[in-house]
Amino acid sequence: MSSKPKILADENIPKSTIQALRSSGYDVVPVWEVKPGLSDDQIIELSIRDQRIIITFDKDFGRLALTNPNIPDVVLMRIPPENPEYITHRILSALEAVGDPYGKLVIVRRKIVKIIPLR
């Protein structure tokens, strides 16, 4: 049985999504609770230190995941960010489908979840 991954939610993830993930048993730390306005590099350092996967809408993290072998994982949301309930649904279903997301770049689109092994 695999335990649920620890999550670092970027500032662009809705608060309602963070609450829903926590309600579903995920250990979620939103960046805004740590320190609002962290740089991408600081977010990566935090994810590495705490072994948390990064969930974000920021495409830069997809590129960084492919070039920085230390990032535990990135779940990159590639859907319009206007509907928090839909975002929550897609994140939860993607995490369930992936199982163990560590060492992967997971790209979540409307109809597909693409998984790219990082190591």
List, for residues 19-30, the tens digit of each pLDDT value.
999 999 999 999
Using CB atoms within 10 Å of the CB of residue 65, give its burial: 0 to 12 exposed, 13 to 18 middle, 19+ buried: buried
Domain count across the chain = 1
Residue position matching structure tokens 């309600």:
23
3-state class (DSSP) for residue 105: strand
User: Do the domain assignments include residue 73?
Assistant: yes
pLDDT given at position 63? 92
Task: Name the band, by pLDDT with cuts 50, 70 and 90, for residue 64.
Answer: very high
Domain that holds residue 62: 7-117
Percent of the chain with pLDDT over 70: 98
Residue 1 counted as domain residue? no
- With 70 as the cut, is the pLDDT of residue 115 above it? yes
Give me the mean pLDDT over the 94-100 stretch: 89
Q: Is the pTM of this model over 0.85?
A: yes
Chain mean position to CA 84: 15
Distance separating alpha carbons of residues 110 and 63, to the nearest angstrom = 20
**Residue 60 is assigned to a structural domain of this protein:** yes
66 found inside a domain: yes
- Give the mean model confidence (pLDDT) for residues 84-106: 91
What pLDDT band is residue 12 in, cutting at 50, 70 and 90? very high
Average pLDDT, the chain: 92
Mean pLDDT of 77-105: 91
> How much is the pLDDT for 1?
40
